Structures are given as structure tokens and as C-alpha cells.
Chains A and B, each alone.
Chain A
Amino acid sequence: MWTELGLDLEAHDALLGVLGQAYGDIFLSQKNRPDGMGYFDFVMSEVHGLRIRELLDEKEAGRKIIGSYCVFVPEEIALAANATLVGLCSGADFAMEDVERILPRNTCALIKSSFGFKLGKVCPYLESADMIVGENTCDGKKKAYESLGHLVENLYVMDLPQVKSANGKALLKSEFQRFKTAVEQLTGVSITVESLQQAIKTVNAKRAAMHRLSSLRKSDPVTISGLDALLANQVFFYDNPARFTESVNKICDELEKRIAVNDGVFPARTPRILISGCPQAVPNWKLPWIIETSGAVIVGEESCVGERGTRNLTDDSGTTIDTMLDALVDRYFQVDCAIFTPNHERLDHIQEMVTDYRADGVIHYGLQFCQPYLMESMPVEKALEQKDIPCLRIETDYSMEDVGQLKTRVEAFIEQLR
């Protein structure tokens, strides 16, 4: 199967080895995990196995696979045209020497990683995708896609607004329309009222399951670790939507029972942290792992791999394709990514989350060289301080060199919350 996809077998084996080891150390070593997490352990162990087989079988049966790098790419449109959308992970350094021949050193780890997986030929999702969607978000990505276009033949770039104005919204709508046409061309299937309605329902259900999971994290003691919840948010991008929804709901049933008997994964009154900032893609578990092995628990992620990405549902009452497209635009237009200016909605959302999840402090996670989020980290810190909410700004990348220093910072921050 791997040779068929053109992967570099040796490098791929090495990657799986590292991944498996890290997964065992970080996830399986946690105590008293919900039984339902067994499903995610299985998904992760098969992330380069059964799931790929499944996708290849789907392809065999005529479906198309679309890979995306950003939560602005509407899964609903892909599904409605008989395509499967998968998130392309970019959470680990790979083939860095090759990457730095194409991208400047001071490019964020996420972008570098997406190139590394391509150049190292280790990502079966990327290799099996019939279309790869890039999007004009931050300058780094925007320019990087110009270079990625030389490495892959099937790149499609979606333009995105930067201002939440009427013009911005009109742009998003026309881009969603253009995307719809492109996907229809790819699959040869025209989107119908029914198929779009169904797709909206499917994705809404998946998001609603995540909302349910999030709200169960408000309890004290917390019944699911931040690491496990992050994992669910990460798998959100890979798994079959219906199966994912069902599995998350099953975990939620279990958590409700645990909450009823105060059976937490951390003792009651453990300091509660909200993480806010850059997305944490698989297998980037570094900061949450540091936090949760330093005596605190993460109760929410204000992130695209988290609540920023999953928060709003799409109005599913539309009866024409156009009204449903409008509903999608309305929904996606609310994503408060730092590439927007101004972006006070994000600031409000962070404070809302602090209250909702009863967080004791916020750790702002910024990837080194990520201008949008590092810039915003300053006003975020200031606004939180004015409300006496402790905030720690962390700037890091995917390397493990700074783990010791980060641990000192995080521990000192947690001491501050006790």
C-alpha cells in the first residue's frame, strides 16, 4: 500500500516508530483515562493503517479525497459532492534540511512541517489526496503555497478575506462558490439541495459532539485530560465523520457518569488552564504534555484544533443551495483567526472561555515566527491582566530542546495559580 502511494518506506517507518513511542509515553501513561479513549488509541494506532486503507477503498469506489490545512475549508461542500476532507497534519519537524532549501529559516514550524511531510514523502494522506487546498491566510502560508505549487500538481488555493466587512463576506461567498465548482469538477458529482443539507447535518453533528465534550470539561474534578480532549480535536480532522461523532458521544456518556460520582482524572481543585493561540496539529503534544505533568489540567483550547475551529453550527434550515451557501458563509465568517484585523472577537472569546470553563489562568501558545498570533499575544495578555486573570505567553516550536526551560516557566506559572 505504501509503495503504491510513493512513500519513502524507511523514513515512514522511522516516523511511525517515533510517533508510537511518543504516543505511549504521553497518552497511554495517563491514569484513569475514560474507557472510550480506547477508540482514539485505536484510531491513532491505525492512523497510518486502516484509515488509509479505508480512504483508498473509498477512492476505489469513486470518491475523491481532499486534503486541507485550515479550518476555513468547508467540509460540507466536499461531502456534498461525494468527496472526503482530511486535515493534513503539520505537527512535527521532518526533512528540515530539505525544507530550509525552499523556505527561509524564520518560517513557522507549522508551515515548515507541511513541507517536510511532502519532501520527506511520509504522509499517506497528502499522497492519496486528489486535491490539496491551500488558503490565503497569513503571509507565511500565502507565499509558501506558491512554492508548494511546484511540489504538488493538485494544489488549489482559496482566497480569504482579512476584514470582517460586507466586502469580506462577499469574498468568502464567492470563494465558497468557486470551491464548490472546483470540487464538483473533481468528483463529477453535482451538489444537490439534499446532498448539501445532509452534509451540513453530518458536520453539525460532529461539531455538536465536540461541544458536548467541551461542556463536560467544566466540571471539577475534570473527567478527561486536556491531552485526551486535544486528541479528540485532532482526530476530528481525519476520521470518518459519522463514526467520529458516535465515538465522541459515547465518551460523553461515560464522562457524565463519572462526573456524577466525582471520578476525575486529576484531583479536585487542580489548577485549571486555558490554552489559547496557534493550532496544535498531530503529533504536536509538547506544551499540553508539559502542562499536565506539572500539576495542572487543561480545560479548553482556544485554537483551530479546538473551540475556534468547532464552535459554531451551520443553520440547516435552508431549502436552496444558495441559502445554504449563505448559511455556511455566515458560520465560517465567525472564525476569529488572527489573520483578521481587527480581531476583538477573539479577545472576547478567550475571556468567555475563561469564565465558562472556570480557568484559573491562560497560557498563550505562540509558534516562533508566527506573526499574527505572537502579535495578538500582547493585547491578549494585557486584557487578561486588567481582569486579574494570570497569563503566560509561551513562544516555542516543535523541537524538544527547550522542554526544560518551558517546564520551569509553566511550573512557576502553576505555582502562581495555587
Chain B
Amino acid sequence: MHKRFAGIDIGSRTIELVVVNEEGKIVESLQSDTNFDPMAEAKKLLAGVQYDCIMATGYGRTLFELAFESPTVTEIKAHATGARVFFPQALTILDIGGQDSKAIALAENGRVKKFEMNDRCAAGTGKFLEVMARTLGCAIEAFGKEALLAEQDVHISSMCTVFAESEVTSLIAKGTNPREIALGLHASVIRRAAGMINRVSSEGDIVFTGGVAKNPCMTSLLAKRLGRRVFIPEDPQCIGAFGAALLARER
């Protein structure tokens, strides 16, 4: 019998489940919304999935540990472990998820050397972009593409979601091109992310993970702003769960 190892990343917005085989290759990958009862969602997601052991990560990891008696690992280490498999040379990781963001610097041997986190407010996270897309009446999936079509951006000065929203509303009222506003909003999130990256590492390639990495405008602005190459794994959102699955396999 071949063994299977699972990793579950219980974030504030979504839950990812990844199963790897003995070679560490992904054999199954699932996702669902966290909703108001994360443990019920996790249970649903796990139903029918075969695995020998599981490791939990994400903000809901402690709840999961209590309910399923599983070992846990922080998002930091999980992302570092997962991203490293796809890009063995990269020493810097940026993860922007639904409600938090983090920058991680690795040592040559892959160990976490330093990290910075923003987890106190929605500014600079996926949530911020979501709220802004809604204010502009744009689907979140298309938000990045639309922003890239702008020829120039308008400067958005508020980082705070609440203030930025009223700033956007008044720009719309003034008749500013919505694409330019969109680009300005992306640039404001990138300014924050770049600051965080600079505090942990000043050079080298960057691996961009988390749901927000799927946004093409974010990746291109990030590369431009820092003058560093930015790589995105195939399914950036499941890197945390993948890393946790690999750590379950190591145990």
C-alpha cells in the first residue's frame, strides 16, 4: 500500500486540502470557502479523501488540532516548505491571502530566516482588493486584468480599507476612469507588500503565493516596483496546504 499525506490550510476565507504521495507529488487538491463554521467545512472537505496522516496550518490550525488531534505548523513554515519545492533557488516568499500577508526570507538551506506579517487589518490583503473591486462594480477575477488596461494610475493615499473606499467613491463621482482607479488600488497594495519584503530581504527572486498571486496586475507591479524577478507557482493558493502535506510526510 502506498502512503498518502495530507495538508490542510484553514485560512480566514478559504480552506485548501492537498494530498501528496510518498514521492511528495500532489495527488489530490481541493478547496472550499471557510464560512462561519470552519470545522464543519473542514470535515466536509475531508469526507471521502484517503490519507494516512494530516498536518494542519492556517489561522484555524489550533481548532483543527483540538477537533482532529492533528499536528500543526504555522503558515510561515508551510509556505516556505511548499514554495521551495517549485522554486528551489528562491530565498524570498511573499504570501498575500484573504486577510493577512507575509514576507519570508529563507536561508540557503531552506530554513526560515526572518519574516514579517500583517495580520491586524485588511489593508494590503486580498480582502482589500475584494472590497475595492466591489466598490468599482468589477468582478474580483477580472479586477487585475482590467487594471492592467489602464494607461496610468491615480494615486490612492489611504491604506485603510474604510478610507480607501470613500476615496474611490469620490474619484468615481469625479468621473475618473475606473481602470486607472483600479491600477492605483493595486499599486497601493504593492507599496505595502514591497515595504514588507524590503524589511526581510533586499535582493533575489521572489516567489509569490496565496490567492492574490493569481492577480496578473499584482505580479507585474511587484516585479516592476522591486526590480526583482517574481515567480508564481501553478496553484499559488494551495502552497500552504501543500507545504503542510510535505511536512506531514517528513514526520
Contacts and interface: CB of A to CB of B under 8 A. Distances in A.
Nearest to A406: B119
Interface stretch (A35-43, A158-166, A247-255, A407-415): A407-415
Interface string A385-409: 1000010000000000010110111
A402 B120 CA distance: 8
B73 A415 contact: yes
Contacts of B120: 402, 405
Interface stretch (B110-118, B154-162, B164-172, B215-223): B110-118
A416 B75 contact: no
A412 B74 contact: yes
B59 A416 contact: no
Contact of A412 (B59, B62, B112): B112
A411 B59 contact: no
Contacts of A404: 59
Interface of B: 59, 62, 73-77, 111-115, 117, 119-120
Main secondary structure of the interface of B (DSSP, over half): mixed
Contact of A405 (B112, B114, B119): B119
A411 B74 contact: yes
Contacts of B59: 404, 408
A412 B119 contact: no
Q: Bin chain A's interface residue count.
A: 10 to 19
Interface centre among B59, B74, B76, B113 (most CB of A within 10 A): B74
Contacts of B117: 405, 408-409
B88 to A, nearest CB: 20
A411 B75 CA distance: 10
B73 A416 contact: no
Contacts of B75: 408, 412
A296 B120 CA distance: 24
The 6 closest A-B pairs by CB, nearest first: A412-B76, A412-B74, A405-B119, A411-B74, A416-B112, A415-B77
B196 to A, nearest CB: 14
Contacts of A416: 111-113
Contacts of A415: 73-74, 76-77, 112
A320 to B, nearest CB: 54
Contacts, number: 31
Contact of B74 (A385, A390, A402, A408): A408
Contacts of B119: 405, 408
B60 to A, nearest CB: 10
A409 B114 CA distance: 11
Nearest to B118: A405
Contacts of B115: 412
A416 B119 CA distance: 19
B108 to A, nearest CB: 13
A157 B114 CA distance: 43
B38 to A, nearest CB: 13
Contacts of A390: 113-114
Given A408-B74, A408-B75, A409-B117, 5 more contacts: A408-B76, A411-B74, A412-B77, A415-B74, A415-B76
A412 B113 CA distance: 10
A412 B119 CA distance: 14
A415 B77 CA distance: 7
Interface centre among A404, A405, A416 (most CB of B within 10 A): A416
A408 B118 CA distance: 12
A385 B201 CA distance: 13
Contacts of A385: 114
Contacts of A407: 62
A62 to B, nearest CB: 53
A77 B3 CA distance: 71
Nearest to A381: B114
A155 B119 CA distance: 41
Nearest to A385: B114
A407 to B, nearest CB: 8
Contacts of B74: 408, 411-412, 415
B158 to A, nearest CB: 20
A381 B77 CA distance: 21
A169 B62 CA distance: 52
A404 B114 CA distance: 19
A378 to B, nearest CB: 10
A416 B59 CA distance: 18
A181 B82 CA distance: 67
28 contacts: A390-B113, A390-B114, A402-B120, A404-B59, A405-B117, A405-B119, A405-B120, A407-B62, A408-B59, A408-B74, A408-B75, A408-B76, A408-B117, A408-B119, A409-B117, A411-B74, A412-B74, A412-B76, A412-B77, A412-B112, A412-B115, A415-B74, A415-B76, A415-B77, A415-B112, A416-B111, A416-B112, A416-B113
